[in-house]
Structure 1
């Protein structure tokens, strides 16, 4: 007997042998093997049961045929009163077939499909510039500074003045004081050897302004040519420098190994003239 818990996982009872894969982790059938967006019938039935708050149960009722070509019959019981039977070459395929019959013939209310996600908007100048700088092999760095606030005098409101015999004029106590102008931000953008500036009311706006100026110039510049790749087996500068550090004996052994040869060093005679100055004559074969 195949049972299905409230989580929608489909697992057979112990006497039926190995457990078929669950709905959440099951391998898709051949029809949906390479389509991640399309859900399997078993998953759709589980969503249908959760939406209507009813239970479902898969039950293996028949197993027939020779060992190399067996046939399995599964009954899906949905909402306690609906039953759908299907046959397949495996338990999993029989379950999918029964679930598909349930989707086609059930009287339960279908869940409302979700609206497709909206496409993302256009890229911001900073994101586009970072991608372009990466293609060019250059680093883009930003520095943002806050601009100083500038004092300014608002237009004079002569209605706030009144004449008095004690003085030339008096100001109303409701007259506005001088305020400082709202400041902004200045962004400095370095892309390789080039520098760009941008201003804005916020740090992000200043970055976008500097990035937009950089894009206008960098879009028309050719990309850096990629360095040629060394041919297979060709000696590079690093290999040549490494060879200079190796002893002649090591170089001879490496050359012989590449050509499949063997090297033997043999002492021919002792040519020392003094005991403290050894000297030998050797042959390489």
Structure 2
């Protein structure tokens, strides 16, 4: 067999043609299964306490750690003097930990586990819930006989009954054989209408009668549920009939699934066709314990296939949502969210006690600022006000001063950072109000700090005096044999004397004395923006060069003004700072204007601006203006001013002498 037939080339895409794709399922669980969820430890503890008729409470003992890593300890105490302690990263987790410990160690008798009494086929219970939400009284009478009953008189008008093929699944099959009719139920609502139901069992008769009542009430319940939904959303509900059509079909499926409490599942079944013309097949499932809806869609893309499957599913779900039982169930669920709960308004017994927060021994490792806020909040007083009032700097060391004011108390704290100064102020205020708790100030890393604590450690050793004495005797004998020049020992430490060899007692001692102040030059760091200082000769030469360039006409100049200015900057070592501004369009002349600012980094600041119809023209204009200023720069120098003053003084003296001679 040909090898290419067994292993087709992957680049052509034929290796995935008409094959099933093993994609993971995309599933969304909207069904609520409370029966399968495990109860929490705290819930079981409350049941045990209720069963044994004892009281219990959770007491917050302590908390520690920084704000991002808290550790709480909670004590669970029963009225029979049983106590259990739990720890956790939050108060709720600590409560759960204490409850878990109590369940493992307590000897109290436990109640029997209750079986779930929920029956989805009990329509009479659903009807009673609807009546409770509508605040109407429901009256039911039960009759047991074997005689036949004329049910046609009790049925509603044909126009009020919703005829649908799928209704047979929702309503139990009614049998009218007189030999099977044993129970008859009569249900009367707030209106004068009476509905009858019959069946072989009492439950069947109740369900039949309840179905008639719910079918009659379904139009009213549908309108009522719309009003409640509008209140729940906050009066932003869109009453337009085509509002659903404006939404994405996939999002509509999810909305319907949430209403019906069903799960949504999308599966990519297969993809067929050539690489340039793929056909995808998607399957959409909306399932629950009772019902299961399936639809399939095909398309040239995954999104198109999923959309087609959802369009088919919407039609199935809309027919399902028109059923009276679904309308009644949805009305009960949405009305429970809006009806007032009388138990919620009652003052429940406090199970979590936080009184220990006012204890000075509470929270040994809490930040003083957090501890101060806790104390203030428990006392129901206004929060303290922190203010930074001063900042001092002493030779590479900053010191901040923070002030805290609370009630009539005022305290200050200082530290190398604002955070530590605020912490010190909070500690000072806690000490004043009686909640002081000395804590070690956080400092630098342990790797940077040298350990100041000295530990005296005793290490076991053996006696080596005998070995040392033998070694010393050998060294002395070797030193007597050696002859020659001996080395001098010199110390470069300015705090000690230079000393000679140990054998030379007459060796002169040299004392190293530090240099006198002013004998050495002190060099200062030159800043980046330091100005260039020119003497009078340099200023005079710079002015002459500027005059020579300005005298020339534009045709005689070999360089542009900015290029000539750059040559002068290299010659006299000063910097040129060029700042360009955004261009502006002149609507009258219909021309763009460019603006440039040039600054020379000299002792006497030289700044000029320039403009033009282009960037280079504006730069040259600014450089031309700079050269106009540089031609008189020698007149602004300090040496020039000193010579002028000297010449003025000489002239004045000559005038005075001439006056005396006259």
State TM-score, norm by structure 2: 0.16
Who wins on radius of gyration, i.e. which is larger? Answer: 2
